[in-house]
Structure 1
């Protein structure tokens, strides 16, 4: 790999890691940007004469990462409990399927576990940009998920992962395909303008790209820590969700990292232990009202603690760490747990407010 190609490769990979961090603050444009980058990164690599080995595993791992950030942003931003519950199921369902696929390489599994969460997230944020999501019933959101699942994702997953067709290749081989796509898009646009748009109720507000403000009683880090002090515990459903979330994410990345030699079971156990230790330490800090206001600094502090824990643990066990792979997993654990601990109290506060009324 030449220096120029290496720079392009590292730039694209860095963008795939950094761009998702904008999703919590600019949900719709950021997730669409991630979707576009996901679709063009291989083309960018190939245009510079480089076809990354194991691209399929890399692509699935990066998808899992950016969708995890999108899921965490629903904890922070979404006001509809019905939509959130559906999205959580869709996310974990796809995440489990992604890991099973990586372990088995059975491509038909991607048809069984389609990535409905991604488009459901886009649908929610599109609606939220003009209308209040809380006015829509759970049955409506289930219908949205069902339409995306059957009409959009099943054909797409079959095309990409079962038939293994490439749109660019098909257009080059059959020029009528492009004309058909243009005609279909034009037809959908006309149908929307004539059949759907006139039936839409008036918008609740002008276009809103930014999410709703956090509720005032829970919008500061010290208030979020105080909520955890009152309501959280080391051994809790919250800790279990973080352990499951990170176990699945790290399991997918473990199949992608070329130098990682550990088993998925050992990785799950190591992640779970680290998550529990993080929960214990963060709750101990919260009970002493030790709060770092900056999310970035809180992440850095947690990463430092995790590196120390891993170093001490490996010294006690007399084992050699995997170096960069271990640091990567610790970084992922630190990032996800920091964001989860910050934003889950926001979601729970909103849910309690709705229940109280």
Structure 2
């Protein structure tokens, strides 16, 4: 295995694996996913000779993947139904925007549908470090989401997706007044005022944080990034609700799996199905999966761990998709893409089903929300 391929595999596996830690350690895991997302292309450019043509599409698909995991973690970890509903709206609003962008390539859509969910999720988990987020009133939750949307995400989305400005180029050319190829050490060495500015910024941030902490209410618990240590702010101790096959959650699960799969289908090779065909195919798999799960459950079969459930449902879904390809598709199949879609679908369905009973235990019905 070449060093280029090894570096590529390590980065991609990190992007696929680290988000799974969000369920137990949401704040450090999602920040790590965000950092890897920001650094991966630079890592490839500086340490490999890989052809990165088309990687932007993969990058955006992997963004959707870790944000989908973050959304599913709210089923388990967010005890406040109102905050969870706000997160749900923000997540699906962005997801629809990304699908629209992938189908049209109109970059302005990413400005209209900003990724407010991610920073809203991070802020909620920052509060949980030492305080029970149930303290947040409905007005504070809405105000937090609105502040992030207007003052953080809109400028950021415009910078990245409309103006298409590169931060490195902007800093070197417009701030430091040097060529793009100039090293950072040289650029900063010729602009020592920037070092002084950073010192001032750090001091101001420290002062602001100290004042904010002084004005904050007393902590509800010792600070920890492990949500299981703050079980009163999660749904872990809720009595799981009994869920049925035919209910609203089945529609949501099909929509979630379908939209995520459409996004990945736009960037994976040899996947020529239309968005509608993809959604219909995924919905069939989701419904068939729900029927099989209900049949197994009626016979007393349950899964002690998420891993067991994932592997069991992977076998079920492989059989379902095998029958579909055998009897209904006659064209060539990209085996790699098919296996990837199978595992992606199985993961989303498994995690959704695993924590849906906890969410249903504390969620008001859709009509009462």
Is 2:262–2:279's contact at 8 Å kept on the other side of the alignment?
A: yes
2:299 aligned with 1:300, yes or no?
no
Show the counterpart of 2:243. Answer: 231
TM-fit CA distance, 1:313:
1.9
Is 1:130–1:204's contact at 8 Å kept on the other side of the alignment?
A: yes
**Equivalent of 1:310 in 321, 334, 344:** 321
Show the counterpart of 1:331. Answer: 343
Show the counterpart of 1:10. Answer: 9
Show the counterpart of 2:274. Answer: 263
Is 2:269–2:337's contact at 8 Å kept on the other side of the alignment?
A: no
Q: Structure 1 CA distance, aligned partners of 2:94 and 2:299?
A: 38
**Equivalent of 2:207 in 177, 190, 193:** 190
TM-fit CA distance, 1:316:
2.0
Q: Structure 2 CA distance, aligned partners of 1:3 and 1:86?
A: 46
Q: Structure 2 CA distance, aligned partners of 1:178 and 1:10?
A: 37
SS in 2 for 1:79: coil
The aligned runs of 1:1-357 (5 Å cut-off) are: 3-47=2-46, 48-173=48-173, 174-175=175-176, 183-184=200-201, 186-194=203-211, 196-211=212-227, 212-213=230-231, 214-216=235-237, 218=239, 227=241, 230-233=242-245, 235-320=246-331, 321-351=333-363
Is 2:261–2:341's contact at 8 Å kept on the other side of the alignment?
A: yes
Indicate the RMSD between aligned Cα atoms, in angstroms: 1.9
Q: Structure 2 CA distance, aligned partners of 1:39 and 1:25?
A: 23
TM-score by length of 1: 0.90
Aligned residues: 340
TM-fit CA distance, 1:181:
6.3
TM-score by length of 2: 0.87
Is 1:171–1:178's contact at 8 Å kept on the other side of the alignment?
A: no
Over residues 79-106 of structure 1, what are the superposed CA-to-partner deviations in whole Å (9 max), with x where a residue is unaligned?
A: 1111100000000111110111111111
Is 2:18–2:29's contact at 8 Å kept on the other side of the alignment?
A: yes
Over residues 255-279 of structure 1, what are the superposed CA-to-partner deviations in whole Å (9 max), with x where a residue is unaligned?
A: 1102212111111110010000011
* Structure 1: gaps of 5 or more residues: 219-223, 353-357
Is 1:42–1:51's contact at 8 Å kept on the other side of the alignment?
A: no
SS in 2 for 1:243: helix
Show the counterpart of 1:355. Answer: none
Change in 2 beyond 3 A, CA 1:148/1:44: same
TM-fit CA distance, 1:186:
4.3
Q: Structure 1 CA distance, aligned partners of 2:279 and 2:101?
A: 17
Deviates more, 1:43-52 or 1:82-91: 43-52
Is 1:16–1:62's contact at 8 Å kept on the other side of the alignment?
A: yes
